[in-house]
Amino acid sequence: MIKRLLIANRGEISLRIQKTCKKLGIETVAVYSDADKDAPFVKAADFSYYLGESEPSKSYLVIPNILKAVRETGADAVHPGYGFLSEKAEFARELSKAGISFLGPKPETVDLMGDKIRSRAAMEKAGVPVVPGYEGDSQEHTVLLKEAERIGFPIMIKASAGGGGKGMKRVFSKEEFLPSLESAQREAGNAFGDPRVFLEKYIINPRHIEVQVFGDSSGKVIHLFERECSIQRRHQKVVEESPAPNLSSELKQKICEVAVKAASSIGYLGAGTVEFILGEDGAFYFLEMNTRLQVEHPVTESVTGFDLVEWQIRIAEGISIEKFTGGKSPSQSGHAIEVRLYAEDPENEFLPSIGKIELAKFPEIQNVRVDSGVVTGSEVSLYYDPMLSKVIGIGKTREEARKNLIAGLEETIIFGPITNLNYLKAILEHSEFVKGNTDTHFLEKHKIDWEESGEEKEALMRTASFLANRTVKTSSVWEAVGPNGVWGEIS
End-to-end alpha-carbon separation of the chain, Å? 48
Length of the chain, in residues: 491
Is position 292 annotated as part of the catalytic site?
yes
Q: Which residues contact 309 (CB under 8 A, 6 or more apart)?
A: 16, 17, 19, 20, 79, 293
Q: What separation in angstroms does the CA of 272 have from each of 51, 103, 264, 326, 441?
A: 28, 11, 11, 21, 25
The Cα 153–Cα 172 span in angstroms is: 5
Nearest to 481 by CA among 418, 470, 473: 470
From the candidates 207, 227, 292, 340, give the one annotated as an active-site residue: 292
Q: Which residues contact 366 (CB under 8 A, 6 or more apart)?
A: 404
The Cα 299–Cα 467 span in angstroms is: 39
Report, as residue numbers or ranges, the catalytic residues: 292
